[in-house]
Amino acid sequence: MASDDDPRRKPRIDGSRQWEVFLRERSAEPMRHVGSVTAPSADIATEQATTLFDYAASALWLCPADEVRRLGGNDLAEKGRAESAGDARTEGVRQ
């Protein structure tokens, strides 16, 4: 799902923006994704990410979520359609 229709790229309606946060703990380690913060400005997003992760990071990167092109992922719709159409729902209640 790499198109502009990707719902993960849609802007929020409350005037804030979502920022994906990436963290590197030590310089020999890769950057890794540690979630996202939502804030009305880049400065506030940076402040939030710093508060949450500064203790663990030698480097923090923030990227606007609506600028990220995502390939692959967890196709919930496909799962939901498959379960609805398949036997799973009539096989009984799982506990």
**Cα separations (Å) of 28 from 23, 25, 42, 55, 62?**
12, 9, 28, 17, 20
Which of 3, 4, 84, 87 touches other proteins (CB under 8 A)? 84
> Is residue 61 near other proteins by the rule CB under 8 A?
no
Binding mask 3-22 for other proteins (x = CB under 8 A): ----xx-xxxxx---x----
Contact by Cβ (8 Å): 58, 3: no
Which of 33, 42, 58, 69 touches other proteins (CB under 8 A)? 33
> Is residue 69 near other proteins by the rule CB under 8 A?
no
**Residue 20 to residue 34: CA distance in whole angstroms:** 8
| Residue numbers at the binding site for other proteins (CB under 8 A) | 1, 7-8, 10-14, 18, 23, 25, 32-39, 48, 51-53, 55-56, 70, 73-81, 83-84, 88-89, 93-95
